[in-house]
Structure 1
Amino acid sequence: MAKDLTCQGKIDMQALEDRHKELEKAWNDLLKERREFEARIHTLEQQEKQFELKWELLIQETQKLADDKLQFERKKKFFDQVQAHSVEPYVAEDNIVHGEMFFSGVTTPKALKKRYKDLIKIYHPDGESGDTATVAEINREYEDLKNQM
Structure 2
Amino acid sequence: MAKDLTCQNEVDMQALEDRHKELEKAWNDLLKEKREFEARIHTLEQQEKQFELKWDMLIRETQKLADDKKQFERKKKFFEHVQVNSEDSYSQTDNIVHGEMFFSGVSTQKALKKRYKELIKIYHPDGESGDTATVAEINREYEDLKTQMN
Query: What is the TM-score of this pair, normalised by structure 1?
Result: 0.67
Taking the aligned partners of 1:127 and 1:142, their CA distance within structure 2 comes to 20
Tell me the equivalent position of 1:112.
112
Asked if 1:40 is matched to 2:40, the reply is yes
2:11 alignment counterpart: 11
Counterpart AA for 1:147: T
Q: In 2, Cα distance between the equivalents of 1:25 and 1:69?
A: 65
For this pair of structures, how many residues does the alignment match? 147
Quick check: 1:80 aligned with 2:80? yes
The structure-2 alpha-carbon separation of the partners of 1:80 and 1:64, relative to structure 1 and needing over 3 Å to count, comes to same
TM-aligned CA distance change 1:125 to 1:87, over 3 Å = closer
CA–CA separation in structure 1 for the residues paired with 2:113 and 2:56:
32
Q: Unmatched 5+ residue regions in structure 1?
A: none
User: Contact conserved, 2:78 with 2:102, CA < 8 A, in 1?
Assistant: no
Query: Does 111-120 or 69-78 show the bigger shift?
Result: 69-78
Counterpart of 1:13, as a letter, is M
Contact 2:71–2:105 (Cα < 8 Å) also in 1: no
Q: TM-score, normalised by structure 2?
A: 0.67
- CA drift of 1:96 comes to 7.8
Identity score, percent: 86
Q: Find the counterpart in structure 1 of residue 141 from structure 2.
A: 141
Work out whether 1:50 is the aligned partner of 2:50.
yes
Unaligned runs of 5+ in 2: none
- Kindly tell me: are residues 50 and 64 of structure 1, through their superposed partners in 2, closer, same or farther at Cα, counting changes over 3 Å? same
Alpha-carbon separation, structure 2, partners of 1:56 and 1:140: 42
Provide the C-alpha distance between the structure 2 equivalents of 1:88 and 1:59, rounded to a whole number of angstroms.
Answer: 43
- 1:31-80 per-residue CA deviation (whole Å, 9 max, x = no partner) reads 12212212211320231233134224313432442354245335524643
